Structure 1
Amino acid sequence: MTNPHTPRARAGREPEPDQLRLLGKVARMYYERGIRQPQIAAELSLSQPRVSRLLRQATEVGIVRTVVTMPPGTYTELEDAIQERYGMRDVVVVDASGAGDAVLPALGAATADYLDVTLTGGHVIGVSSWSESLIAAVDVMRPKNITVVDKVVQIVGGLGDPAVQMQATRLTGRLADLTGGTPVFLSAPGLVGSPAIRKALMRDPSVKEVTELWSRLTVALVGIGSLEPSPLLQRSGNALAETEQEELRSLGAVGDVCFRYFDADGKSVSSNLDQRLIGITPRELMQIPRRIGVAGGSRKFSAIRAALRGGWVNVLITDLEMARRLVAED
């Protein structure tokens, strides 16, 4: 006598009607009525492993089809498109109204959420000093209950006008406090007056102690700048003079990461500025496994696109308008 609960489908053939009926019945009990597998097994006189196999088979033959419905405010298709186009490790797109600095609160909140999820322990984070996007992120970050970061290290000189320097210092200190790490400050300006001053400072033991940590970084958290400095950078005293901006523009520069400038294709642009900068080198930056760039606003499109093309960052957190432009234009 044939057991009605015994599937009779042969390998490579469609299930027969009685088997399809059983598959459908088990699938509806589990997915539509919310009955747990042990109860299904008891009601239908099946073993629990058999119920699990039937549910798997119901998916294989198309009785159960998984449909992912994304909630409003998520843009996974757009994120995937940018990730594929530019060879990114990850992309986060956030809806932000307005332009320019109006996107900062949304970028800050998205960055705080991303770090909350992805900082899982043992990290050594390098952070650029003069980024309003990063300051907005630490302003809304929630403290972690456990230590997830060993050190938070400045990768660009943090000294500047005393009226705004405290924001750059607070960025490093606050991020360390929130993640349980030890802050490591770079007690030098981002830009100095001459190559000779830079050489002297780079030999200073306190500066050298910081720069030697750059080879140990596992995460970089950076802004992406355009040639026109942000208001914070302008006030800091580390901004470029107009003549320096013109020189970089004549060399094809469109943006920077940590004061390291690049052209529209993301290739490094060498200038006299490099000899006056106290900060991480492009080579050191590129060796960091996860390089998180936080930037948005319409004026930064050329800089952000170039940074992606050149691999300066491999994780991007940006606004919806920017994301759409990155996909539409290349």
Structure 2
Amino acid sequence: MGTITNDTRLLVKVAKLYYFEGLTQAQISKHIGVSRPIISKMLTKAKEDGIIEFFIKDESALTVDLELKLEKKYGLKEVIISPGHDQEYSETLKILGQLASVHVSKKLDDIHSIGISWGKGVSNFVDAFPYQKSESLHIVPLIGGMGRSHIDLHSNILTLKFAQKLQASASYLYAPAMVRSTDVKQRLVESPDISGVLEEGRNVDIAIIGIGNPTVNSTMEEIGYLSDEDTASLKDYGAVTDINSYFLDKDGVLINHPLNDSIIGVNVTLENHIKETVAIACGDNKIESMHVALMNGAVDVLVTDDRTAQKLIDEY
């Protein structure tokens, strides 16, 4: 037989021998009495005719499908999705922190520096990261942070905890995250200690960040960085997302607002020296914020849950 047969019975037989009996194409060729290339073509035809259909029986198949869709939609290097199972927000963040830590831990042998932002997602990443010795690694805070409230979420504290876990070296950014006085900010960012750390942050191999909604359930407002008046003003200016505390509008452009000029930190939306930016984010209040941040192109790897991922697919 030199051509592909249309005999359905024979196509089914070849398919069963290959997929159920585990025979190689060469063994089937000898058994049926046709060349191996013909067996290969018969298997292809069986797929085209619907005789063979593949199903992956695992709940992760659904999340993998979402991952692939989001990677294509936003041009991301990788998307990592956790099945939600209707957990509380805090529990979901713990799982996302674990997933992000696994992703980064695989890269430690090939990188020299990691930048740490601030917030709940980043905090869960640091908490989940396993203790291991990585003395050649250097940890850098991506934004300032001083004060008495929620210090466990500040970039410097998270940098310290992370460096201790890895027995790594670290730099610290001894400055507030926001300075309302232009003159004071200028003096601070021009000081060698602060300017040097900011330059390190602009050149890290991997940056770990969150994505925030500055006007709805804002962590920045919760910890006292933003007042009610600030939140209202940001809303008036069209702010829909913040990345490392820089505020962007619905088009992914930095808004012309005084608060953007007050930040002492690395603007990851403008940096192309950072090799990989990993964002940890989820929640109904962050759907638009995440969409805008992902469209901006600043994020390379997204870690989220299936509910949030599905909404990003459905709503945008």
Q: TM-score, normalised by structure 1?
A: 0.76
Distance, in Å, in 1 between the alignment partners of 2:137 and 2:53 is 41
1:106 aligns with 2:95: yes
Note the alpha carbon deviations across 1:22-62, whole angstroms, 9 max, x for none.
Answer: x969x95x8656799xxx8xxx9xxxxxxxx95x9855541
Give how far 1:270 is off: 2.0
Give how far 1:189 is off: 1.0
Distance, in Å, in 1 between the alignment partners of 2:244 and 2:94 is 21
Give how far 1:101 is off: 4.0
Distance, in Å, in 2 between the alignment partners of 1:284 and 1:187 is 23
Whether the 8 Å contact between 2:217 and 2:285 is mirrored in structure 1 is no
Match of 1:217 in 2: 204
Distance, in Å, in 2 between the alignment partners of 1:110 and 1:311 is 22
Q: How does 1:61-210 map to 2 (within 5 A)?
A: 61-62=42-43, 67=54, 69=56, 71-73=58-60, 75-96=63-84, 97-98=86-87, 100-129=89-118, 131-144=119-132, 147=134, 150-161=137-148, 164-168=150-154, 169-179=156-166, 181-210=168-197
Distance, in Å, in 2 between the alignment partners of 1:101 and 1:166 is 15
Distance, in Å, in 2 between the alignment partners of 1:193 and 1:267 is 22
Give how far 1:212 is off: 1.8
Match of 1:266 in 2: 252
Distance, in Å, in 2 between the alignment partners of 1:148 and 1:118 is 14
* Structure label with greater radius of gyration: 1
1:306 aligns with 2:292: yes
RMSD of aligned residue pairs (Cα, Å): 3.6
Q: How does 1:43-54 map to 2 (within 5 A)?
A: none
Give how far 1:321 is off: 1.3
In structure 2, the CA distance between the partners of 1:282 and 1:33, relative to structure 1 (3 Å rule), is: closer
Give how far 1:80 is off: 1.2
Amino acid of the structure 2 residue aligned with 1:211: L
Distance, in Å, in 1 between the alignment partners of 2:284 and 2:94 is 15
Identity of aligned residues (%): 23
Amino acid of the structure 2 residue aligned with 1:84: K
Distance, in Å, in 1 between the alignment partners of 2:22 and 2:110 is 37
Whether the 8 Å contact between 1:123 and 1:148 is mirrored in structure 2 is no
Match of 1:320 in 2: 306
SS of equivalent to 1:220: strand
1:297 aligns with 2:286: no
Whether the 8 Å contact between 1:120 and 1:148 is mirrored in structure 2 is no
Gap regions ≥5 residues in structure 1:
1-7, 45-52
Distance, in Å, in 2 between the alignment partners of 1:228 and 1:322 is 18
In structure 2, the CA distance between the partners of 1:147 and 1:229, relative to structure 1 (3 Å rule), is: farther
In structure 2, the CA distance between the partners of 1:229 and 1:196, relative to structure 1 (3 Å rule), is: farther
In structure 2, the CA distance between the partners of 1:222 and 1:283, relative to structure 1 (3 Å rule), is: closer
Count of residue pairs the alignment pairs up: 300
In structure 2, the CA distance between the partners of 1:175 and 1:121, relative to structure 1 (3 Å rule), is: farther
Whether the 8 Å contact between 1:122 and 1:148 is mirrored in structure 2 is no
Distance, in Å, in 2 between the alignment partners of 1:58 and 1:318 is 43
My pick for the range that moved more, 73-82 or 186-195, is 73-82
Distance, in Å, in 2 between the alignment partners of 1:290 and 1:249 is 30
Distance, in Å, in 2 between the alignment partners of 1:229 and 1:189 is 23
In structure 2, the CA distance between the partners of 1:185 and 1:196, relative to structure 1 (3 Å rule), is: same
Distance, in Å, in 2 between the alignment partners of 1:112 and 1:309 is 24
Give how far 1:306 is off: 1.0
SS of equivalent to 1:75: helix
